[in-house]
Amino acid sequence: MEETKTDSKKSGLGWFSVFIFFLGLAAVNLVWFLFFPNLNSGQKYSALLAAAILSLFLGFFLIFRNRKLMNETRKERLEMENFCRRRALEESDDLRQRTKSLEEANKKLEGINQEFMETTKKLFEREKELTRANKRLQEVDNVKSEFVSVAAHQLRTPLTGIKWSYTALLDKDTGPVNQAQREIIEKGMETIDYTISVINDLLNTARIEEGKTGFNFTVQPIGPMFQEILKQHQATIDEKKINMVVDVPLSSSFSFKFDKERLTIVFDNILANAVKYTPPEGTISIKSFRREKDIQFKISDTGIGIPKKDIDKIFSKFFRSKNAVGFETSGSGLGLYVAKNIVEGHGGKIELESEENQGTTFTITLPIS
């Protein structure tokens, strides 16, 4: 558009040149008449005619050039207008295309937003359903825990009575028994002890899940606790000729705050497993390492070990590795689950290292400060 305006100015300047030219001729003739008065009339008119003809030719020439310039300017203006029109059309087409693309994108976004809203609504509904289902499961779990607790208590009471009766028979309170009768009674005692052990594991698990562990922390020596645990398993240790290495403070000189009843469950479960899964003439060691703020207990055996793929699941509820089930079919799979929760309830931690057919080492760390 700026070039068109410039060409129009050029066209106007051509006509102005023609006007100036004729004005100049008139001025020349005026000077001629004024400054050469001696020429006769014929010469003056001849000169004037010659000047008029020359001016006419020059005028036509200038008019022709001016028209040619005007045509070129008009042509350029038309080309510029066509160019601008094409550019405007192209820009308009491009704008329409962009507008169309934006409209399509907007429609897609609206569709996605609608899908998102629908998905969000479904998720909220699903969350409500899951919350209701979780509440129902919690109620069922509470009922189950309560049932296990009540059932275990009800079972343990008669079993304790049966065990007392068997003990009275073995102690000959009702008269002498022969060897065959003694073996039957001892077998029955073993079964009762195992059943009571499973019931105790169930009760401890129920207490843990209900948050009713009821820790009773008191400052006391830990040596007598180990002496009681070792005494309970001494018969099996002697029968299997297991080499016991004990390096813990069995005396009453070292004391710290812990729950004796709960901690007895931990070490009894671990030692019972070590005795159970260690073959005859194997080795079990119990060592302690006192440090500044805690004490560590390491219980190692040369038993069947734990497969590598099962180590991460060994503290799970009801879990027993396949090699353990193959070696000893009986077992609740709750002992280590209970032990882990009791140790953590003391502010400590329990870890293990094991290799199949090489043995297992449990490390229990308890705070003493």
CATH number (domain holding residue 323):
3.30.565.10
Average pLDDT of 28-42?
60
For residue 297, being part of any structural domain is answered with yes
In the predicted structure, residue 9 carries a pLDDT above the cut 90 = no
To the nearest whole percent, how much of the chain has pLDDT over 70? 75
Which range marks the domain in which residue 104 is found? 1-159
Candidate from 49-63, 89-103, 154-168 with smallest mean pLDDT: 49-63
Q: What is the average pLDDT score of the chain?
A: 79
For residue 173, being part of any structural domain is answered with no
pLDDT at 160: 78
In the chain, the number of structural domains is 2
Cβ-based neighbour number of residue 303 at 10 Å: 25
For residue 206, being part of any structural domain is answered with no
In the predicted structure, residue 5 carries a pLDDT above the cut 50 = no
In the predicted structure, residue 79 carries a pLDDT above the cut 90 = no
pLDDT at 292: 85
Average pLDDT of 86-90?
81
pLDDT at 1: 45
pLDDT at 32: 59
312 to 278, 283, 307, 316: CA distances (angstroms): 21, 25, 10, 8
For residue 194, being part of any structural domain is answered with no
Do 138 and 230 belong to one domain? no
b (16+ CB within 10 A) / e for 325-339: eeeeeebbbbbbbbb
Average pLDDT of 331-338?
81
For residue 363, being part of any structural domain is answered with yes
Average pLDDT of 183-190?
82
| Residue-wise pLDDT tens digits, 131-149 | 888 888 777 666 666 666 6
pLDDT at 6: 42
Do 3 and 150 belong to one domain? yes
| Residue-wise pLDDT tens digits, 208-250 | 776 666 788 899 998 889 999 999 899 899 999 999 999 887 7
Do 251 and 103 belong to one domain? no
Average pLDDT of 304-322?
86
For residue 166, being part of any structural domain is answered with no
> Which residue intervals of the chain are DSSP H helices?
2-35, 41-170, 179-210, 223-239, 260-277, 322-327, 335-345
Do 58 and 141 belong to one domain? yes
Do 225 and 335 belong to one domain? yes
| Residue-wise pLDDT tens digits, 277-293 | 999 999 999 999 988 88
pLDDT at 3: 45
Let me know: does 318 contact 333? Beta carbons within 8 Å. yes
Please tell me what DSSP assigns to residue 353: E
> What does pTM read for this prediction?
0.56
Do 147 and 222 belong to one domain? no
For residue 181, being part of any structural domain is answered with no
In the predicted structure, residue 166 carries a pLDDT above the cut 60 = yes
Burial of 285 (0-12, 13-18, 19+ CB in 10 A): middle
Do 240 and 341 belong to one domain? yes
pLDDT at 12: 44
pLDDT at 22: 63
For residue 291, being part of any structural domain is answered with yes
pLDDT at 83: 85
In the predicted structure, residue 363 carries a pLDDT above the cut 70 = yes
pLDDT at 16: 58
Q: What would the two tokens of residue 228 be?
A: 């009681």
Candidate from 166-170, 207-211, 244-248, 261-265 with smallest mean pLDDT: 207-211
pLDDT at 11: 43
Do 360 and 217 belong to one domain? yes
